[in-house]
Amino acid sequence: MNALIQLIERVVEWFGGLARFCVLALVLLVATNVILRYLFSIGPVSLQELEWHLISPIALIGLSYSMKHRADVRVDIFYDKFSSRKQGVVDLITAIVTIAIGVYICWLGIKYVGQSYNLQEGSPDPGGLPMRYLLKGFIPFGFGLLVLQGVADIMRSILKITEAKVSVELEPNVSVKEVDRGSAV
Amino acid sequence: MTGNEWIILGMIAGFLSMMIIGIPVAISLAVSGFVAGYLGFGPLLFNLMPARLYGVVTNYTLLAIPLFVFMGVMLEKSRVAEDMLETIGKAMGGVNGGMGLAIILVGVLMGASTGIVGATVVTVGLLTLPVLMRRGYHPSIACGTICASGTLGQIIPPSLVLILLSDIVGESVGTLFAAAFIPGLVLAVIYILYLLILGLVKPDWVPAIPKEERALTSKSQLFKDLLRNVCPPLLLVVAVLGSIVGGVAAPTEAASMGALGAILLAAFMKRLNRVMLKEVLHGTLTISAMVFFILLCAQPFSLAFRGLGGEQVIHGFFDILPGGEFGAIIFLMALLFILGFFLEWIEISYIALPMFLPVFSNYGTDMVWLAILVAMNLQMSFLTPPFGWALFFLKGVVPPGISIKHIYLGAIPFVILQLCALLVLFNFPSLATWLPKAIGW
Amino acid sequence: KGDERFNVRMTNAYPPGSPFYVQGPGSPMDFCEKVTAMSDGRLNINHFAAGELIPALEGFNAVSSGTIEMNAANAYFWAGKIPAAQFFTTVPFGLNTQGMNAWLYHGGGMELWHELYEPHGLIAFPMGNTGVQMTGWFRKPVETVADLKGLKMRIPGLAGKVYSELGVTVRLLPGGEIFPALERGVIDAAEFVGPYQDRRLGLHKAAKYYYTTGWHEPTNVTELLINKDVWDSFPKDLQMIVKMAAQASVTESLSWSESVNAEALKDLVENEGVIAQPLPQEIVSNLKEATFDTLSSMAAADPQTKKVYDSFMKFREKHSSWAALSEKPFLNL
Ligand code: NA
Ligand code: NA
């Protein structure tokens, strides 16, 4: 089970790397666009469109990534006081409904992308970017990854329920804050 | 009550109870939305879900989220922000609440460059909360101050709320921007007064930096520190604001100037390296995704609310609408306040406002004034527990040991202050209407 | 003729409150009310502005897949899916409103439109017209083509492409950011709609030079998009009601637009110090040349576009010679 969890999370982490790259690309792209336009009056429509095209992978691939790094927001008034076992049960429910939501949206998303693909949809602006279905494709893809992470979370919460000891080794309880302070990078 | 009305109530109750036992907010929203929608109108309407999600992830104005978060994380990782706050704390001398004032100032400045609450709250929270905690601030006070200053961007122009409202009430964007300016500042001043008074009444909650420690730094050293630690990050804010004012960048893309500036600043301080950059990207991604997670998962909830005829439910309130312009405004404010407990501001303004507008145009109400009242009210909805976006966003970045309870408790005084500000604006409409006339906007 | 009742939804590409495109005489919401009244409630259309059910530009896909029954927008928003859709809203240097109506209703335009949409399970009708638009707002006067070089302008779509051929730096910006950007000089010029709508956005407070005329949008057709299966399920009388209500909306929105634009322009010039003047002839000629190059290369790239282009251009030629001897001398009287 541990091996499978690790395999899944390696996949999520790998795509997360792609999204991290998109963050850097976004920062540099927007800044470059601003400077080029101000100084040299250069501003191709395609590069302007690329700006908001980059939000899509950041937001959608980011879903599973933030889930893996426990960067989701929860109301912890009671949760923090629960025993490890009870927390495991809440985590299990969370993982199950996450999978359900992910599968449903993924399925809806595939139809949606298919429609766009059949139209060979591109930007309505001349000079804009083609293949808008790729951009839309991040919806099923991102939620698909979320399902995958949900599977890992199910196994992890089962481990948490059955034996509290495992948690030390796997650090499922690492809070987002510590991760965000860079300890897990 | 009809079947659908029961389902709407059930959806809200289900959402709150899932949330309360510790299921992530985003997941609770999505599940309750899908289940209620499915019970009410079946699967068909959910075919619209991908379109709504696509609308969120391709929303141009949301560019500001990753850009500002990047700036914030970069400043945090290069410890620039920490040094700045410490120095300001020292410079404030014996004034209790001094560092809190710095936060409000940062909130105002960031608010003047974006209207995205998520971006401001997480950035300010990330930068300031650890320092405030170490300096012995009461967690609730610190959290409340951050959330409240983070929402100032909603009323201080440029702001998304004002842009949307301008469309709904039919006033120009410029007029509303000008009208919101003074009320926004008044609000900031009220926050500042609150902290200063708190500093007198409860000095332990907002302590100044101890005298002994301040004594370690000489006047001239402090002056140097101010130059070295406060100027660079302040320059970033100037870069963001300046690029808007100077006509270099549009409001949304201005955030990139801050992000770029933060990279240069870190490089200049010789703190930029590969490992650090990777950490910054990691932090930016998790935090931005956390914000988007909630925004995305709110879509099934909003769609279900609409599909179940939520707007008719609100319309039903009209039967008890009291007479007179005064009564109608009070009623609208109360309705917005209550809806703010569980709906997001876009949904609130789309549903509630168009219904009220004909009523007010009959009374000849000043639409500019009304719009600012509404904007202030919507801004307040970001702060009202249990469902306040600012509260959740901050929860995503707090250090260990701070629970949502601290955040909730901290927000309440600010909600009350907001109500006071609303009352002031209600009694003195010229606070909103004077400036647009004076500058001819 | 039965007493079967139909309850359908209409989404809109414009946000709540927008005059012409959402509310006001001849607007989509007005259309919905007309249809309900004319059909005595047998056809009831629930209207949703942009963002209420779906984001602004998702109407095509939603109606095509049958999740939503009707949508109000401009056909050129779908140019990324069907390039020829551009021709059913407006064409730069194309036909004015009279000519456009003539082409659509009696020159084969509507048949082409239906033919184009049929494979997508859609049918469309004109449901409004805001008439001629304005060139836009400029912070500084433009006198020669050289003044256009490096000029930063907010201008979406086909016209943006044409401007860029003359060296303009095209900036895409959402409606709400036009004002702050223009006011601060992030952009030097911006195109929005016409005097009434532009004044509402406050653009005259950001730039004083208001150039005319709308060479890029000599007319502007609002599109009523209907799912074909839903349309076919309507009895004949309801179909006729929808068609006639749409046609009435074209007249009504246009006359409302002409009336309020006249008032707004007068107010802008007399009370707000706006300088309204036609674009210099040299610039217009260059724009015209660039437009026809762009249009013919669009037609060459896509057989569907070619077919519509040919019909449109042929009609334009005929109509222009008529207008040259009828409308044009009258305007010079
Ligand atoms: Na703002
Ligand atoms: Na709230």
Summarised one tens digit per residue, pLDDT across range C101-148 is 999 999 999 999 999 999 999 999 999 999 999 999 999 999 999 999
Segment C257-274 mean pLDDT: 95
Residues 6 or more apart in contact with residue A10 via CB below 8 angstroms: none
Alpha carbon A158 to chain centroid, angstroms: 23
pLDDT over 80 at C67, yes or no: yes
User: Strand C221-227 and strand C70-73: pairing?
Assistant: antiparallel
Position A172 scores a pLDDT of 43
In three-state form (DSSP H/G/I as H, E/B as E, the rest C), the secondary structure along chain C is CCCCCEEEEEEECCCCCCECCCECCCCHHHHHHHHHHHCCCCEEEEEECCCCCCCHHHHHHHHHCCCCCEEEECHHHHCCCCHHHHHHCCCCCCCCHHHHHHHHHHCCHHHHHHHHHHHHCEEEEEEEECCCCCCEEECCCCCCHHHHCCCEEECCHHHHHHHHHCCCEEECCCHHHHHHHHHHCCCCEECCCCHHHHHHHCHHHCCCEEEECCCCCCCCEEEEEEEHHHHHHCCHHHHHHHHHHHHHHHHHHHHHHHHHHHHHHHHHHHHCCCEEEECCHHHHHHHHHHHHHHHHHHHHHCHHHHHHHHHHHHHHHHHHHHHHHCHHHHHCC
Query: Please, what is the average pLDDT of chain B?
Result: 83
Segment B132-146 mean pLDDT: 88
Task: With residue B380 as reference, give the H or E element that holds it.
Answer: helix B367-381
pLDDT over 60 at C153, yes or no: yes
How many A from CA of B114 to the centre of ligand 1?
4
Ramachandran quadrant class, C302 (left: phi over 0; alpha: psi -120 to 50; beta: rest): beta
Question: In A, which residues are within 8 Å of C158 by CB distance?
Answer: 126
Residue labelled with tokens 């876009």: B346
pLDDT in tens, B249-306: 887 788 898 899 989 988 988 888 999 999 999 989 988 898 889 889 988 988 898 8
Question: In B, which residues are within 8 Å of A31 by CB distance?
Answer: 256-257, 259-260
Position B397 scores a pLDDT of 83
Q: How far is B261 from chain C (nearest CA, A)?
A: 19
The reply to whether omega before C195 is within 30° of 0 (cis) is: no
Segment B86-111 mean pLDDT: 78
C-alpha B255/C-alpha B61 separation (Å) is 11
- Kindly state the percentage of chain B with pLDDT values over 70: 93
- CA A57-A58-A64 angle, to 5 degrees, is 90
Burial of B362 (0-12, 13-18, 19+ CB in 10 A): exposed
C-alpha B164/C-alpha B149 separation (Å) is 21
C-alpha A172/C-alpha A101 separation (Å) is 22
Q: What strand order describes the sheet that includes C70-73?
A: C43-48, C6-12, C70-73, C221-227, C122-129
Torsional sign, CA A159, A161, A163, A168: positive
Residues 6 or more apart in contact with residue B378 via CB below 8 angstroms: B154, B161, B336, B340, B345, B348, B349
Position B211 scores a pLDDT of 74
Q: Answer yes or no: are the C-beta atoms of B438 and B389 closer than 8 Å.
A: no
Position A181 scores a pLDDT of 32
C80 or A180: whose pLDDT is higher?
C80
Cβ distance A48 to C78 less than 8 Å, yes or no, reads no
3-state secondary structure of B333: helix
- CA C101-C103-C107 angle, to 5 degrees, is 135
C-alpha B244/C-alpha A24 separation (Å) is 22
Q: How far is A152 from chain B (nearest CA, A)?
A: 17
In this structure, which ligand is nearest to the CA of B149?
Answer: 1
Q: Answer yes or no: are the C-beta atoms of B37 and B45 closer than 8 Å.
A: yes
Position A177 scores a pLDDT of 40
Residues 6 or more apart in contact with residue C155 via CB below 8 angstroms: C136, C163, C168, C170, C171, C189, C190, C191, C216
Residue B346 binned pLDDT confidence (cut-offs 50, 70, 90): low
Position A178 scores a pLDDT of 38
pLDDT over 70 at B113, yes or no: no
Which chains are adjacent to chain A, needing at least 3 Cβ pairs under 8 Å? B, C
Q: How far is A4 from chain B (nearest CA, A)?
A: 23
B48 touches chain C (CB under 8 A): yes
Per-residue pLDDT of chain A (185 residues; tens, 9 = 90+): 788 999 999 999 999 999 999 999 999 999 999 999 999 888 888 898 999 999 999 999 999 999 998 877 777 778 888 888 889 999 999 999 999 999 999 999 999 999 999 989 988 888 888 899 999 999 999 999 999 999 999 999 999 888 765 444 444 444 444 333 333 22
Ramachandran quadrant class, C24 (left: phi over 0; alpha: psi -120 to 50; beta: rest): left
Segment C19-35 mean pLDDT: 95
Q: Answer yes or no: are the C-beta atoms of C78 and C210 closer than 8 Å.
A: no
Nearest in space to A78 (alpha carbons), one of C325, B261, C82, B16: B16
B69 or B38: whose pLDDT is higher?
B38
Cβ distance A115 to C294 less than 8 Å, yes or no, reads no
Q: Which of C186, C187, C201 is closest, CB to CB, to B173?
A: C201
Position C178 scores a pLDDT of 87
Query: What does the DSSP assignment read for B261-322?
Result: HHHHHHHHTT---HHHHHHHHHHHHHHHHHHHHHHHHHHHHHHHHHHTTHHHHHHHGGGGPP
Nearest in space to B344 (alpha carbons), one of B332, B355, B336: B336
Question: In B, which residues are within 8 Å of A20 by CB distance?
Answer: 278, 281-282, 284-285
Q: What is the DSSP letter of B64?
A: H
C-alpha B405/C-alpha B410 separation (Å) is 8
Question: In A, which residues are within 8 Å of C68 by CB distance?
Answer: none
C-alpha C129/C-alpha C214 separation (Å) is 14
Q: How far is B140 from chain C (nearest CA, A)?
A: 36
Question: In A, which residues are within 8 Å of B27 by CB distance?
Answer: 72, 94, 97-98, 101
How many A from CA of C82 to the centre of ligand 1?
38
Segment B1-10 mean pLDDT: 84
Q: Which two tokens stand for residue C211?
A: 């150039």
B306 touches chain C (CB under 8 A): yes
Interface of B with A in 400-439 (CB under 8 A): 400, 403-405
pLDDT in tens, B83-95: 777 787 777 767 7
Task: With residue B373 as reference, give the H or E element that holds it.
Answer: helix B367-381
Position B351 scores a pLDDT of 66
Question: In C, which residues are within 8 Å of B245 by CB distance?
Answer: 184
Q: How far is A135 from chain B (nearest CA, A)?
A: 9
Position B347 scores a pLDDT of 66
C-alpha C271/C-alpha C263 separation (Å) is 12
pLDDT over 90 at C303, yes or no: yes
Greatest mean pLDDT range, A173-177, B55-59, B243-247: B55-59
How many A from CA of B29 to the centre of ligand 2?
14
Question: In C, which residues are within 8 Å of A42 by CB distance?
Answer: 169
Segment B27-32 mean pLDDT: 92
Alpha carbon C264 to chain centroid, angstroms: 19
Residue B129 binned pLDDT confidence (cut-offs 50, 70, 90): confident
Position B291 scores a pLDDT of 81
- Which residues, by Cβ under 5 Å, contact ligand 2, an ion? B 340, 381, 384, 387-388
Interface of B with A in 24-53 (CB under 8 A): 24-27, 30-31, 34, 46-47, 49-51, 53
C-alpha C244/C-alpha C255 separation (Å) is 17
Segment C281-309 mean pLDDT: 94
User: Strand C189-190 and strand C6-12: pairing?
Assistant: unpaired
Paired residues of C73 in beta bridges: C223
Helices within chain A (DSSP H only): 2-40, 45-53, 55-68, 84-118, 132-162, 166-170, 176-180
Cβ distance A37 to C157 less than 8 Å, yes or no, reads no
How many A from CA of B394 to the centre of ligand 2?
14
Interface of C with B in 53-72 (CB under 8 A): 53-56, 58, 61-62, 65, 67-68
Paired residues of C48 in beta bridges: C11
pLDDT over 60 at B109, yes or no: yes
Position C157 scores a pLDDT of 86
B396 touches chain A (CB under 8 A): yes
When scoring B48, B52, B53, B76 by the number of chain A Cβ atoms within 10 A, the one with the most, hence best to mutate, is: B53
C-alpha B230/C-alpha B7 separation (Å) is 53
In this structure, which ligand is nearest to the CA of B68?
Answer: 1
pLDDT over 90 at B436, yes or no: no
CB atoms within 10 A of CB B223: 12
Position A164 scores a pLDDT of 61
Segment B10-27 mean pLDDT: 88
Cβ distance A74 to B283 less than 8 Å, yes or no, reads no
C-alpha C23/C-alpha C46 separation (Å) is 13
Question: In B, which residues are within 8 Å of A180 by CB distance?
Answer: 126, 282-283, 286-287, 397
- Kindly report the length of chain B: 441
Interface of C with B in 170-229 (CB under 8 A): 173-177, 179-181, 183-187, 199-202, 205-206
pLDDT over 50 at B227, yes or no: yes
Interface of B with A in 178-237 (CB under 8 A): none
Q: How far is B219 from chain A (nearest CA, A)?
A: 33
A141 or B307: whose pLDDT is higher?
A141
Chain C residue closest in CA terms to B309: C46
Cβ distance C158 to A126 less than 8 Å, yes or no, reads yes
C-alpha distances out from residue B298 to B21, B33, B292, Å: 19, 8, 10
C-alpha B66/C-alpha A56 separation (Å) is 11
How many A from CA of A113 to the centre of ligand 1?
35
Question: In C, which residues are within 8 Å of B440 by CB distance?
Answer: 205
The reply to whether omega before A124 is within 30° of 0 (cis) is: no
In this structure, which ligand is nearest to the CA of B111?
Answer: 1
For the CA atoms of B303, C78, C239, C121, the dihedral, rounded to the nearest 10 degrees, stands at -80
Position B350 scores a pLDDT of 67
